[in-house]
Structure 1
Amino acid sequence: MHDASLLLNLFKLIGEGKLDRYKFMQMLARALVQEIAASRAGIWFYQGALQDSLVCETLYDAGDGQWTSGMVLHEDDFQPYFESMREGRILVAPNARQHPATACFSEGYLEPLNIYSRLDVVIDVAGSLVGVLSCEQTAHEHDWTQQDLQYLQQGAATIGLALKKFP
């Protein structure tokens, strides 16, 4: 069972003025990796008038303890993924290299980074799509559970609420 109190405590720290946006996003990504037992967790936000690109605000890789940010995914390069997230709002891909929505990532992203599985949910604010919260598994496939998905959805909802608190 995943610890929902971690997410609540992070949100409370924002209200108390103890976390800025950057630190909140990092702490949330690290909490997701630990709770879901994923290798990596990233928070991505849509940009452009057509929301045709996703920019990584932060991505934590538990394998090397490193943080990454600034990567950009363009819809022109990954159209099946963008369409899937807009239409389905969740993506459960235990075999991401073969999944219809994520196979487009195989050559340039999944294979070079040794990623086998993805679990993604949209981040929305007042019903508007603003980003994607993503967990990835490296080295082997991961069969995501319903509890994993629910916890990731709670994380996305927490981000949506937190965005209203940051200037």
Structure 2
Amino acid sequence: MHDTNLLKNLFTMVGEGKLDRPKFFQMLVRVAAQETGSSRASVWFYDGDLKDHVVCESLYDVGDNQWSSGTTLSEDDFPSYFDAMRDQHMIVAADARAHPATSCFNEGYFEPLNIYSLLDVGIAVNDVQLGLVCCEQTAHVKEWSQADVQYLQQVAAMVGLALKKFGG
């Protein structure tokens, strides 16, 4: 079972003004990676009028204990992924390299980064899709549990609430 108290504590710290947006997202993705036992976790937001790009707000890599941000992915390059996120608001891909919605990432993303599994959950506020929370497993396939999915849904909901506190 995943510890949701860590999420609650982060949200409390945001409400008390103890965390700014960048620090909140850094802490959130680290907690998401730890709680799901994944190698990497990240938060991405849609960009453009058509929401045809996602931009990484914060990515935490457990292997090197480093954060990064700013990577942009385009629907032009990964149409099946964007279609799946738009239609289903979630992708559970234990074997991401063979999954129909994520195999488009193989050559340019999965193979260079040694990623085998992916779990993405959409972030929505008032039924408007704003982005997604992503967990990835490197080096081997990870079977995502229902608890992992539910936890990442809670993380996505927390992001939506935090965005309201940060003013969008």
Shorter-chain TM-score: which interval?
Answer: over 0.9
- Give 1:67-86 correspondences, 5 Å limit: 67-86=67-86
Match of 1:15 in 2: 15
Match of 1:98 in 2: 98
TM-score (normalised: structure 1): 0.99
Cα offset, 1:110, TM superposition: 0.2
| Structure 1: runs of 5 or more not aligned | none
**Residues in 1 aligned to 2:122 and 2:104: alpha-carbon distance in whole angstroms:** 19
Cα offset, 1:73, TM superposition: 0.3
SS in 2 for 1:119: strand
**Residues in 2 aligned to 1:60 and 1:144: alpha-carbon distance in whole angstroms:** 19
Matching residue's letter, 1:10: L
Cα offset, 1:67, TM superposition: 0.9
RMSD over equivalenced CA pairs, Å: 0.5
**Residues in 2 aligned to 1:156 and 1:28: alpha-carbon distance in whole angstroms:** 10
**Residues in 2 aligned to 1:92 and 1:74: alpha-carbon distance in whole angstroms:** 20
Give the ranges of 4+ consecutive aligned residues of structure 1 lying more than 4 Å apart after TM superposition: none
**Residues in 2 aligned to 1:6 and 1:138: alpha-carbon distance in whole angstroms:** 24
**Residues in 2 aligned to 1:30 and 1:43: alpha-carbon distance in whole angstroms:** 11
Counting matched residue pairs gives 167
**Residues in 2 aligned to 1:149 and 1:86: alpha-carbon distance in whole angstroms:** 18
SS in 2 for 1:133: strand
Match of 1:89 in 2: 89
Match of 1:154 in 2: 154
